[in-house]
Chain A
Amino acid sequence: MVIIELFSSLTGGCLVKIVVTVKQVPDPNSSTVLEADNTLARDKEVVLDPGDECGVEEALQLKEAHGGEVVLVSMGPEPAKDAIRKGLSMGADRGVLISDAQLAGADALLTARVLAAAIKAEAPDMVICGTESYDGSTGMVPPMLAELLGMPQLTIAKKVEVDGSTIKVHRQTADGYQIVEAATPVLISVTAGIAEPRYASLKGIMAARSKEIKQIGLGDLGIEKGEPAETIEGLSQAETRKAGVIIQDDGTAVDQIIQVLVQAKVL
């Protein structure tokens, strides 16, 4: 701690603790299976959410520039430890996994309540989330978490700057970006464009093996599950467009495209 403070004062930085929320998701590069009860099968081919991987990278870069500690917090079944381990091998310091059978199929609010309780115990200066998860994609955990933690939210950040206890982000908008600032403690949600995740080095992978991952359950957090905010009443096949014609570019392709453009009256 003394060393961290000394380091911080040397670099002028003032971040002491960053929590990154990390979720384990089905591998985007593999086909997933739907269980009979309409939940995603999560037992195989799961990875650290690619969006959260960018969050971990950003946290590590902030740590390298300003000092501090990076703690990864995840809610999920036990194998989600692998997602945390991945972040640890990139360079994060330790992890917390909230795992409980009651949490299967948790909605965004329950997820946020659970994460908030675990994060409060860490009292971080900054919380970094992905903008939306690969599988859930509600994009709702970050603002809910900010509310429950009583923090301001700097969302959809594509760049983060630290100036003492003031955090400034470039917040992506439809036609450019906003510069938004707030004082710590603060919650940030980051876009995948914020930082290219590093590969874990062999040394990093070895070091991660001995880093702490604390596992806790709902009872440890004193949370009651409560009624779910929504229930799935049915599933139907999504409307799909019919396939049209597929042609090889054998020299006539351009003509055929032109014909379609003429038919569509845009030419």
Chain B
Amino acid sequence: MAKIWVYAELNQGKLQPTALELMAKARELGDVEAVALGAGAKEAAAILGKHGAKVVYVNEDKAFDDFIAEPATDALAALYKAQSPDLILFGFTSDSRDVAGRLAARLDVGLISNAGDVDAKDGGFVASVPYFGGAKVASMRANKKPAIILIRPKSFEPSESGGTAEIKEVDAAIGADSKRAHIVERVVEASEKVKLEDAKVVISGGRGMGGPDNFPLLEALAGALGGAVGASRAVVDAGWVPYSMQVGQTGKSVRPGVYIAVGISGAMQHTVGMKASKIIIAINKDAEAPIMKMADLGVVGDALKIVPALTAAVKAKKG
């Protein structure tokens, strides 16, 4: 049986959703163990056990929370030498990416990034990776041991399998020079009423909204529908709205009941984060915009006129 590791990312004591998503997949691939580093690791280990981890390696050294990537890389590299798993799965998230990249370079094995799925095949691992702007999917075989594969959030549905993990406290093995990129402060900007990831309705605005001053139109509609507002990267980069609202490859992945894309062209890097939505409605001036080809309902028209009218109609309907 192949030995599979899940890097169970923690953020300020909280187990990140990708950890349990990866557990669900890892169980299909072999014997699963997890590595949890930082505050909350032991508590997380219990949850990971319920999701199928036979062993969870833990260490709660503060350095894992306070310094970027290097302490975790040290710990993983040392653990790898002792345990030699066949595959290490990471979530394709900012923090995990930083660690996975360093680890792959240190172990000189490379990695497969931005995968949507992974399977065991002919004694190795093959990942599905979007290719050529997302028009194709490549099957990529990992040639080295350990295989290191990063998987996009929301690729698998977490599920409990029952069980308890053996919790093994391990040496942090942090090198003397590894406490360098120091997180000195955490600033929270988002004050989301409904969390984007959990919302039943997501209304996202793009460059077609014309400017930041028009985003309240989307908030009004979201308010009326009990949904959340998202955005394309173009408007995040332009500084119209905070990054916490970005949907897509480098933002959040959402799969609401209804996704309304307003003034968004539908670049693959955006759609990869929302195409799993049940129903997609697009409002766009351009009937040829790529988003129109994937929408269940595409409305050709001016967003600035349609959105306020729609908000009024929703309110009227609700009475």
Chain B contacts for A108, CB-based, 8 A: 101, 104, 110-111, 113
**Residue in A32, A193, A266 whose CB lies within 8 Å of B237:** A193
Q: Which A residues between 30 and 52 are near B, CB-CB below 8 angstroms?
A: 32, 34, 38, 40
Chain A contacts for B187, CB-based, 8 A: 170, 176-179
With A174-B243, A177-B187, A182-B182 given, name 11 new contacts (CB 8 A): A38-B132, A139-B114, A143-B69, A174-B190, A175-B244, A178-B187, A180-B68, A229-B104, A230-B111, A263-B279, A265-B257
Q: Report how many residues on chain A are interfacial, defined by Cβ distance under 8 Å.
A: 84
Spot the interface stretch: A9-17, A62-70, A148-156: A148-156
Judging by beta carbons under 8 Å apart, are B105 and A173 in contact? no
Chain B contacts for A202, CB-based, 8 A: none
**Residue in B201, B249, B294 whose CB lies within 8 Å of A243:** B294
Judging by beta carbons under 8 Å apart, are B244 and A174 in contact? yes
Judging by beta carbons under 8 Å apart, are B126 and A238 in contact? no
Judging by beta carbons under 8 Å apart, are A258 and B317 in contact? yes
Q: Which B residues between 154 and 200 are near A, CB-CB below 8 angstroms?
A: 180-190, 200
Q: Which A residues between 236 and 257 are near B, CB-CB below 8 angstroms?
A: 236-241, 243-249, 253-257
Question: What is the interface of chain A, defined by CB distance below 8 A to chain B?
Answer: 32, 34, 38, 40, 107-110, 112, 131-132, 137-148, 152-156, 158, 168, 170-183, 186, 191-193, 227-241, 243-249, 253-258, 260-267
Question: What is the interface of chain B, defined by CB distance below 8 A to chain A?
Answer: 68-70, 73, 94, 97-102, 104-106, 108-114, 126, 130-144, 180-190, 200-201, 225-227, 233, 236-239, 242-244, 249-250, 252, 257-258, 269, 275, 278-281, 287, 292-302, 305-306, 309-310, 313-314, 317-318
Residue of B nearest to A152 (CB): B180
Q: Once the chains are docked, how many angstroms separate the CA of A131 from the CA of B92?
A: 13
Consensus secondary structure, chain B interface? mixed
Judging by beta carbons under 8 Å apart, are B105 and A176 in contact? no
Judging by beta carbons under 8 Å apart, are A176 and B306 in contact? no
Judging by beta carbons under 8 Å apart, are B189 and A140 in contact? no
**Residue in B70, B104, B226, B301 whose CB lies within 8 Å of A140:** B104
Q: Number of A-B pairs whose CB atoms are under 8 Å?
A: 274
**Residue in A186, A193, A229 whose CB lies within 8 Å of B144:** A229
Chain B contacts for A238, CB-based, 8 A: 130, 134-137
**Residue in A154, A240, A254, A263 whose CB lies within 8 Å of B294:** A240
Chain B contacts for A171, CB-based, 8 A: 68, 183
Judging by beta carbons under 8 Å apart, are A264 and B314 in contact? no
Residue of B nearest to A240 (CB): B294
| Given A178-B185, A243-B292, A264-B258: A230 and B140 interface contact (C-beta under 8 Å) | yes
Pick the 7 closest A-B CB pairs, nearest first: A229-B110, A249-B301, A143-B101, A152-B180, A244-B296, A176-B189, A109-B110
